């Protein structure tokens, strides 16, 4: 049996920004487990950019799992398609090497948010499969936990990279992109305007907090089987 979960994450960056950031995702402060990254294939076909990257990550199996998995590192193949016309970036990653013990697959589709065209929604699907007799379930559960943890790291790390590539001038690094009023526009302000600014800042802060809460919650499964 295959374990499955899916989740959605909203990035407050345009699809074009997210697509550019995708290639610069590593290194970031949350990616110490990523050791190497190589492009092994790349081609433009039918107006789509098709790439394949090979990643090496550290691999720490649980104590009871060492009898199945002795390797210190795991290799990951990441296939991706950037479709400029449809504005989608699809990524598909799978482990190679000890696939007979556990297969972990993750597919993420990034596309512009329907709510806000300046935002990008990432829809993530993950599968964990194991056929080791007697240990399949334990290995699956372990694999799922690790994928959820890595999902949060991925969201925080990716946001870090996007924020450094595309800093948000006025609203601060966590500020949502929705604000249309320019907070520091004028140095001559009436008391009323100042109050308005303060209110806006407070609401931005609240939004940013809600957003970071959302980011951590976004890796929880919304469906599983």
Partner 1 sequence: MNSVGNQCTDLKQQYDACFQTWFTERFLKGDMNDEICAPLFRVYQQCLKKTMKEKQIEFKEVDNDHLGTDKEYKSPRESNQA
> Footprint of partner 1 on this chain (CB under 8 A)?
2, 4, 6, 16, 19-20, 23-24, 26-27, 34-40, 42-44, 47, 49, 52, 54, 56, 75, 77, 79-82, 84, 90, 92, 94, 96-97, 99, 105, 107, 125, 127, 223, 225
Nearer to partner 1, 100 or 203 (CB): 100
Q: How far is the CB of 101 from partner 1 (least distance, A)?
A: 14
Q: How far is the CB of 170 from partner 1 (least distance, A)?
A: 23
Nearer to partner 1 by Cβ, of 21 and 61: the residue is 21
Own/partner long-range contacts of 104-109 (Cβ < 8 Å, ≥24 apart):
104/128, 104/129, 104/143, 104/146, 104/147, 105/129, 106/147
CB of 65 to partner 1, least distance (A): 21
Using alpha carbons, list the distances in angstroms from residue 124 to 23, 31, 66, 171, 195: 18, 19, 29, 28, 41
Could you tell me the smallest distance in angstroms from the CB atom of residue 67 to partner 1? 22
Question: Is residue 27 reached through a cis peptide bond, with omega within 30 degrees of 0 on the bond before it?
Answer: yes
The distance of closest approach from Cβ of residue 58 to partner 1 in the complex, given in angstroms and rounded to an integer, is: 13
**Chain-centroid distance, C-alpha 115:** 19
Residue (96 or 195) nearer to partner 1, CB? 96
| Minimal distance, residue 128 CB to partner 1, in Å | 10
Residues contacting 174, CB < 8 A, separation 6+? 208, 211, 212
Burial of 154 (0-12, 13-18, 19+ CB in 10 A): buried
Q: Which is nearer to partner 1, 24 or 209 (CB)?
A: 24
Q: Between 159 and 171, name the residue whose CB sits nearer to partner 1.
A: 159
Distances (CA, A) of 145 to 60, 141, 150, 221: 13, 6, 9, 11
| Residue among 107 and 196 whose Cβ is closer to partner 1 | 107
């Amino acid at each position: 049996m295959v374990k499955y979960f899916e989740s959605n994450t909203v990035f407050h960056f345009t699809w074009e920004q997210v697509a550019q950031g995708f290639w610069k995702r590593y290194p970031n402060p949350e990616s110490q487990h990523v050791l190497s990254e190589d492009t092994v294939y790349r081609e433009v076909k039918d107006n789509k950019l098709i790439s394949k990257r090979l990643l090496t990550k550290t691999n720490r199996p649980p104590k009871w799992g060492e009898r199945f998995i002795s390797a210190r590192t795991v290799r990951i193949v990441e296939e991706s398609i950037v479709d400029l016309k449809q504005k989608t970036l699809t990524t598909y990653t799978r482990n190679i090497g000890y696939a007979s013990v556990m297969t972990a697959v993750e597919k993420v589709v990034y596309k512009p948010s329907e709510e806000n065209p300046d935002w990008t929604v990432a829809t993530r699907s993950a599968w964990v499969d194991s056929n080791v007799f007697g240990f399949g379930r334990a290995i699956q559960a372990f694999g799922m936990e690790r994928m959820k943890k890595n999902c949060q790291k991925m969201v925080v790390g990716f946001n870090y990279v996007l924020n450094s590539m595309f800093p948000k001038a006025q609203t601060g690094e966590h500020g949502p992109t929705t604000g249309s009023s320019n907070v520091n526009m004028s140095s001559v302000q009436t008391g009323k305007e100042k109050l308005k600014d303060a209110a806006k800042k407070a609401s931005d802060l609240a939004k940013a907090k809600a957003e970071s809460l959302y980011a951590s919650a976004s890796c929880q499964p919304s469906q599983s089987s």
